[in-house]
Amino acid sequence: MRSFLKQITQATRWFNFIQLKRNNKYKYYNIDWLRINKYIQENEPTKSTSFQHSYYKVKRIKLLLEEFLIVDFLQSTHPKIYGLL
């Protein structure tokens, strides 16, 4: 039962995250969200947390969002080269 509730909670959080206005543009990209999630969680223990893990997690998220912005800019300035990826 606990596992089921955990999955429901994770799905609800994901849905709420992707529905935020600031994330609307990411809906239409062909993004492998499972792989992105594994990259963000990278080697983090699942049953504990630390400031160091949180720090690196934030850094990875910011790096990914910055990459999305760069790709978006390149697509808008050079659509023939960087069409929809």
Q: Of 20, 38, 23, 1, which Cα lies nearest the Cα of 69?
A: 23
pTM of the model: 0.54
pLDDT of residue 27: 74
pLDDT of residue 45: 66
The per-residue DSSP string of 28-63 comes to GS---HHHHHHHHHTT--SS---HHHHHHHHHHHHH
Q: How confident is the model at residue 80 (pLDDT cuts 50, 70, 90)?
A: confident
How far out from the chain centre does Cα 82 lie? 21
Residue-wise pLDDT tens digits, 16-30: 888 888 777 777 777
